[in-house]
Amino acid sequence: MDIRAEEISRIIRGQIEGFDAQVDVSEIGTIISVGDGIARAHGLEKAMAGELLELPHDVMGLAFNLEEDNVGIILLGEYTKIKEGDIVKRTGRIMSIPVGPALVGRVINPLGQPIDGKGPVQAATYNPIEKIAPPIVQRRSVHEPMQTGIKAIDALIPIGRGQRELIIGDRQTGKTAVAVDTIINQRDTGVICIYVAIGQKRSTVAQVVKTLEEYDAMKHTIVVSATASEAAPLLYLAPMAGCAMGEYFMWHGKNGQPAGKDNPGQHVLIIYDDLSKQAAAYREISLLVRRPPGREAYPGDVFYLHSRLLERASKLSADCGSGSLTALPVIETQAGDVSAYIPTNVISITDGQIFLETDLFNSGVRPALNVGISVSRVGGSAQVKAMKSIAGSLKLDLAQYRELAAFAQFGSDLDKATLAQLNRGQRLVEILKQPQYKPIPVEKQIAMIWVATNGYLDDIPVSEVRRLEAELMDYLDINAPDTLKRIKETGQFSDTTRDELKSHVLAFKETFKASLGQPATVGA
Ligand X SMILES: Nc1ncnc2c1ncn2[C@@H]1O[C@H](COP(=O)(O)OP(=O)(O)O)[C@@H](O)[C@H]1O
Q: Which residues bind ligand X (CB under 6 A)?
A: 169, 171-177, 366-367, 434-436
Which of ligand X, Mg ion, none sits in contact with 435, Cβ below 5 to 8 A by type?
A: ligand X
Pair 287, 297: CB distance under 8 Å: yes
Taking the C-alpha atoms of residue 307 and residue 458, their distance in angstroms, rounded to an integer, is 46
CB of residue 328 to ligand X, shortest distance in Å: 12
DSSP state of 75: E
- CA-wise closest residue to 450 among 462, 460, 459, 442: 442
Give catalytic status of residue 467 as yes or no.
no
CB of residue 200 to Mg ion, shortest distance in Å: 7
Looking at beta carbons only, is 13 or 171 nearer to ligand X?
171
Can you point out the beta strands (E) in 58-160?
60-66, 71-76, 87-94, 96-99, 107-108, 125-128
CB of residue 227 to ligand X, shortest distance in Å: 15
Looking at beta carbons only, is 139 or 466 nearer to ligand X?
466
- Catalytic entry in 377, 402, 466, 467: 377
Share of the chain residues as helix, strand and coil, in percent rounded to the nearest 5 = 45, 20, 35
Looking at beta carbons only, is 284 or 357 nearer to ligand X?
357
Which of ligand X, Mg ion, none sits in contact with 44, Cβ below 5 to 8 A by type?
A: none
Looking at beta carbons only, is 191 or 369 nearer to ligand X?
369
Which of ligand X, Mg ion, none sits in contact with 43, Cβ below 5 to 8 A by type?
A: none
Stretch that binds Mg ion, among 175-183, 189-197, 277-285, 464-472 (CB under 5 A): 175-183
CA-CA distances (angstroms) from residue 468 to 106, 191, 345, 489, 513?
Answer: 40, 32, 42, 26, 10
DSSP state of 15: H
Taking the C-alpha atoms of residue 110 and residue 98, their distance in angstroms, rounded to an integer, is 10
Q: Is the dihedral of CA 425, 433, 357, 149 positive or negative?
A: negative
Maximum separation of any 2 CA atoms in the chain, in Å: 128
Looking at beta carbons only, is 177 or 378 nearer to Mg ion?
177
- Cβ neighbours of residue 421 under 8 Å, at least 6 residues apart? 397, 400, 401, 404
Which of ligand X, Mg ion, none sits in contact with 498, Cβ below 5 to 8 A by type?
A: none
Looking at beta carbons only, is 360 or 480 nearer to ligand X?
360
CB of residue 169 to Mg ion, shortest distance in Å: 9
- Cβ neighbours of residue 221 under 8 Å, at least 6 residues apart? 104, 105, 183, 192, 193, 194, 195, 212
Taking the C-alpha atoms of residue 423 and residue 462, their distance in angstroms, rounded to an integer, is 8
HEC readout, 185-230: HCCCCCCEEEEEEECCCHHHHHHHHHHHHHCCCHHHEEEEEECCCC
Pair 224, 252: CB distance under 8 Å: no
Return the amino acid letter for 377.
Answer: R
CB of residue 514 to Mg ion, shortest distance in Å: 43
Taking the C-alpha atoms of residue 400 and residue 428, their distance in angstroms, rounded to an integer, is 12
- CA-wise closest residue to 346 among 177, 183, 167, 226: 167
CB of residue 176 to Mg ion, shortest distance in Å: 3
The answer to whether residue 176 forms part of the interface with Mg ion (CB under 5 A) is: yes
CB of residue 136 to ligand X, shortest distance in Å: 34
Which of Mg ion, ligand X, none sits in contact with 367, Cβ below 5 to 8 A by type?
A: ligand X
Looking at beta carbons only, is 53 or 168 nearer to ligand X?
168
CB of residue 184 to ligand X, shortest distance in Å: 12
- Per-residue contact track with Mg ion, 134 to 153, x per CB under 5 A? --------------------
The answer to whether residue 278 forms part of the interface with Mg ion (CB under 5 A) is: no
Q: In sequence order, what DSSP letters do the residues of 419-488 get, joined into one string? A: HHHHHHHHHHHHHT---TT----HHHHHHHHHHHHTTTTTTS-GGGHHHHHHHHHHHHHHH-HHHHHHHH
Looking at beta carbons only, is 176 or 186 nearer to Mg ion?
176
Looking at beta carbons only, is 39 or 346 nearer to ligand X?
346
DSSP state of 48: P
- CA-wise closest residue to 223 among 326, 76, 110: 110
CB of residue 361 to ligand X, shortest distance in Å: 7
Binding site for Mg ion (CB under 5 A): 176
* Catalytically annotated residues: 377
